[in-house]
């Protein structure tokens, strides 16, 4: 296994699911903030809490999108290119279901 293949596997199996999970949590925090802001529109304290949740949800989503972009830039620099269902390594297309006997 080459370094590029190892990095592709780490990215696909570990990093991308973690990024997706944290992005989902940030999105839920954002939606919760919108709900609180609308629900407590009469109360200044409730609106402030909703605004805080909206802000931190947006910050979390921006950080996760940035992390995804930085990871893709690093992978492109070392010769690993991710496409859905395939991992392209140094010009060769390798199916992701290769070990399952599916061509």
Q: What does the pLDDT read at residue 54?
A: 96
Digit-by-digit pLDDT tens for the chain (103 residues) are 777 778 788 888 898 999 999 999 999 999 999 999 999 989 999 999 999 999 999 999 999 999 999 988 888 887 776 554 555 555 555 555 555 555 5
Residue 37 contacts by C-beta under 8 Å, 6 or more apart in sequence? 46, 47, 50, 51, 53, 54
**Cα-to-chain-centroid distance, residue 86:** 18
Q: Please choose, from the candidates 71, 63, 82, the residue with its C-alpha nearest in 3D space to the C-alpha of residue 25.
A: 63
Question: What is the pLDDT, as a whole number, of residue 74?
Answer: 85
Question: What tokens does 60 get?
Answer: 């979390």
pLDDT at position 90 is 53
pLDDT at 72: 86
Domain definitions of the chain by residue range: 19-79
| pLDDT for residue 98 | 54
Q: Which of 25, 15, 18, 32 is nearest to 82 (CA)?
A: 15
How confident is the model at residue 93, as a pLDDT?
53
């Amino acid at each position: 296994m080459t370094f590029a293949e190892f990095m592709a596997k780490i990215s696909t199996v570990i990093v991308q699911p973690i990024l997706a999970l944290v992005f989902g949590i940030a999105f839920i925090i954002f939606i919760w903030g919108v709900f609180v802001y609308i629900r407590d529109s009469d109360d200044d304290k409730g609106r402030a809490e909703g605004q805080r949740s909206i802000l931190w949800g947006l910050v979390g989503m921006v950080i996760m999108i940035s992390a995804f972009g930085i990871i893709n830039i690093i992978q492109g620099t070392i010769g690993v290119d991710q496409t859905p269902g395939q991992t392209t390594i140094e010009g060769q297309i390798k199916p992701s279901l290769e070990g399952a006997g599916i061509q």
